[in-house]
């Protein structure tokens, strides 16, 4: 059960508290009792395939969609009763670009500034800061029709940041971007996190959640099936091992005698040794091998989030269409 402990001074405070969130469209249940908590200042990655309910959660938390049941508080405000207060504290970058295509980049930022009731000087200063920061100075006087996908997405984020929100929702911020723009976006998210902004990030890319999130919630068919740091999630499933490769059969045979728990592949001259824990288990393996056995190559394998998803849901992380 997540609580908003706004009174607590030193304990980590929750920026978002969601309990028993439900949403159905007619017969189709989209969210089937979601509980999650996001701590202030963390990047929370909501991970799941298409159709898992990620966007529905973002739309509810950002006041666009009412929930059928459950309680939500955002930055100390009850979502149902104080939607207006919530709106003044959050920033949302949705899945589809929310820029005004007939206005220039700069005018888009000014429009946000006006709607936020920023004084004229603040508006100009903040807009030029953001144009600079997101490498849009040259594009400031052009309309987004002339922008690349990455530039449009950067303008989109810049618009979200005009009001200096304390909590930002990023719904699949890198979907449809080329690899370079994706890495730029990752850096933008890291920089925001470094400034202490709380971020809820949804993604269907396991690598992305692993890369950016402090904690990850795995969403499957409208439920959070696992939650934790990327490391915690990886530890929950078996499969971590050390892979040793040898130059000849004699070395492999010697190694097999030293490490009987390993499984050998004689054709590839490889030995796969199960590994628990960190460096200590690596040191133990090397100690038991001794100096006499020549290891040609060594690699450590930890399961990636694809393995996690498969282990947790019994399904590969492929599209869950209605």
Residues near other proteins, by CB under 8 A: 62-66, 83-84, 87-88, 90-92, 94-103, 107, 111-112, 114-117, 143, 159-160, 163
Q: Which is nearer to other proteins, 66 or 316 (CB)?
A: 66
Q: Which is nearer to other proteins, 115 or 294 (CB)?
A: 115
**Shortest CB 223 distance to other proteins, Å:** 23
Sheet holding 167-171, edge to edge: 90-93, 167-171, 198-203, 43-47, 215-220, 223-228
Contact in structure between 274 and 241 (CB atoms under 8 Å): yes
Ordered DSSP codes for 221-283? TTEEEEEE-HHHHHHTSS--EEEEEESSHHHHHHHHHH-TTSEEETTTTEEEEE--SSHHHHH
Query: What b/e readout covers 144-174, taking b as 16+ CB neighbours within 10 angstroms?
Result: beebeebbbbbbbbbbbbbbebbbbbbbbbb
Q: Which is nearer to other proteins, 95 or 320 (CB)?
A: 95
**Shortest CB 122 distance to other proteins, Å:** 15
**Shortest CB 66 distance to other proteins, Å:** 5
Rounded Cα distance, 130 and 128, in Å? 5
**Shortest CB 275 distance to other proteins, Å:** 46
Q: Which is nearer to other proteins, 172 or 210 (CB)?
A: 172
31 DSSP β-pair partners: 23
Contact in structure between 49 and 317 (CB atoms under 8 Å): yes
**Shortest CB 96 distance to other proteins, Å:** 4
Q: Which is nearer to other proteins, 142 or 272 (CB)?
A: 142
CA distance to 27, 88, 266, per residue, from 100 (Å): 35, 21, 62
**Shortest CB 239 distance to other proteins, Å:** 40
Q: Which is nearer to other proteins, 110 or 309 (CB)?
A: 110
**Shortest CB 160 distance to other proteins, Å:** 8
Q: Which is nearer to other proteins, 86 or 270 (CB)?
A: 86
Exposed/middle/buried for residue 89 (C-beta within 10 Å: 0-12, 13-18, 19+)? middle
Exposed/middle/buried for residue 318 (C-beta within 10 Å: 0-12, 13-18, 19+)? exposed
């Amino acid at each position: 059960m997540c609580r908003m402990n706004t009174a607590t001074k030193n304990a980590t405070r929750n920026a978002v508290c969601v309990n028993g969130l439900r949403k159905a469209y007619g017969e189709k249940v989209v969210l089937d009792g979601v509980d999650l908590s996001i701590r202030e200042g963390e990047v929370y990655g909501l991970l799941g395939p298409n159709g898992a309910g990620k966007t529905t959660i973002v739309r509810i938390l950002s006041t666009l969609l009412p929930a059928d049941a459950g309680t939500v508080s955002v930055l100390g405000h009850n979502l149902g009763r104080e939607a207006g207060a919530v709106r003044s504290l959050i920033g949302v970058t949705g899945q589809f670009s929310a820029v005004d295509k007939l206005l220039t980049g700069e005018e888009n930022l000014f429009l946000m500034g006006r709607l936020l009731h920023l004084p004229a000087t603040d508006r100009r200063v903040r807009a030029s800061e953001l144009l600079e920061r997101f490498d849009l100075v040259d594009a400031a006087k052009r309309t987004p029709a002339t922008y690349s996908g990455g530039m449009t997405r950067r303008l989109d984020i810049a618009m979200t940041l005009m009001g200096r929100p304390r909590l930002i929702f990023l719904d699949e911020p890198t979907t449809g971007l080329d690899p370079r723009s994706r890495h730029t976006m990752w850096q933008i998210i890291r920089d925001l996190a470094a400034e202490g902004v709380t971020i809820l990030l949804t993604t269907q890319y396991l690598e992305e959640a692993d890369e950016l999130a402090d904690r990850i919630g795995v969403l499957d068919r409208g439920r959070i099936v696992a939650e934790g740091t990327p490391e915690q999630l990886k530890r929950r499933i078996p499969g971590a091992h050390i892979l040793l490769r040898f130059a000849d059969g004699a070395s492999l045979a010697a190694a097999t005698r030293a490490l009987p728990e390993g499984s050998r592949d004689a054709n590839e001259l490889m030995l796969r040794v199960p590994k628990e824990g960190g460096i200590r288990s690596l040191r133990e393996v090397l100690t038991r091998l001794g100096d006499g056995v020549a290891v040609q190559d060594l690699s450590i394998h930890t399961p990636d989030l694809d393995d996690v998803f498969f282990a947790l849901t019994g399904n590969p992380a492929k599209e869950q269409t209605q």
